Structure 1
Amino acid sequence: MSTLEVTREELLTREEAANRLSTLAAALAGGEKVVVPLGGSKVKVHVPDHVRCEIELEVDGDEVELEIELKWPAQGHEEH
């Protein structure tokens, strides 16, 4: 089985970050397929009715990291 891993990091305003999360939340609530924009391309993934969610908050010196991770069994993806 092949592995797909794409990482994208960018600097956003707080409002832009909220809009990204809001768009993703609406897509998750709206159906089985979620389109994830990754730079110039998009990946469409199937999301089942139940997912495992892990939230991690790390404070290290002067940096705070909030990580939200959703996991589910893979059922394929489509790159666009």
Structure 2
Amino acid sequence: MKDLKFEQKRSLSRLEAADQLMALAAALREGGEAELEVGPGKLSLRIPDDLRSEIEVEVGNGEIELEIEFKWPTAPTRTAPSQAVAGTQEAARRRKSVPAKPGRSSTATSRSKSTKRSTTKTP
């Protein structure tokens, strides 16, 4: 059973459809708590930084059906994947700026890493 389901079916002009998609795009771009005008009311959603998407196109019975679906968990996650990637990039940047230990040059470290890499590759 779904916790909540909202569905609305109505005819739109091409410009109304574009306005609806632009409002959704603006809410996605901003993230956080977003409000979308849907018919006579407003729909409030928490939109996280990362979400899953699915695009489906069906052609049949003289019609084209285009579905664009976004999914994300209802509960906020501890660390968003984009933040984890940024943290990994920051850690890599810090490692590069750390001075080499006395008696070891940075080129020797680089060579040993490349040697390890080349020995682990399989033909």
Q: TM-score range by the shorter chain?
A: 0.7 to 0.9
Deviation at 1:2, TM superposition (A): 6.4
Superposed CA offset, 1:2-61 (max 9, x none): 610010011001111011001110111013112133333322111110010100000012
Paired amino acid for 1:21: L
Aligned residue pair count = 76
Residue aligning to 2:31: 31
TM, length-normalised to structure 2 = 0.56
- Partners of 2:61 and 2:2 lie apart in 1 by 38
Structure 1 spans left out of the alignment, 5+ residues: none
Structure 2 counterparts to residues 1-80 of structure 1, below 5 A: 3-75=3-75
Give identity over the alignment, percent. 43
Is the 8 Å Cα contact of residues 33 and 44 (structure 1) preserved in structure 2?
yes
Deviation at 1:75, TM superposition (A): 3.0
Judging changes above 3 Å, is the alpha-carbon distance between structure 1 residues 19 and 66 closer, same or farther for their aligned structure 2 residues? same
- Partners of 2:34 and 2:57 lie apart in 1 by 25
- Partners of 1:43 and 1:33 lie apart in 2 by 10
- Tell which has more relative contact order, 1 or 2 (C-alpha 8 A, sep 6+): 1
Q: Could you say what secondary structure the match of 1:46 adopts? A: strand
* Structure with higher strand content: 1
Is the 8 Å Cα contact of residues 56 and 66 (structure 2) preserved in structure 1?
yes
- Partners of 2:59 and 2:23 lie apart in 1 by 27
Judging changes above 3 Å, is the alpha-carbon distance between structure 1 residues 2 and 11 closer, same or farther for their aligned structure 2 residues? closer
Larger radius of gyration: 2
Instruction: Please provide the CA RMSD for this pair.
Output: 2.0
* Structure with higher helix content: 2
Q: Could you say what secondary structure the match of 2:57 adopts? A: strand
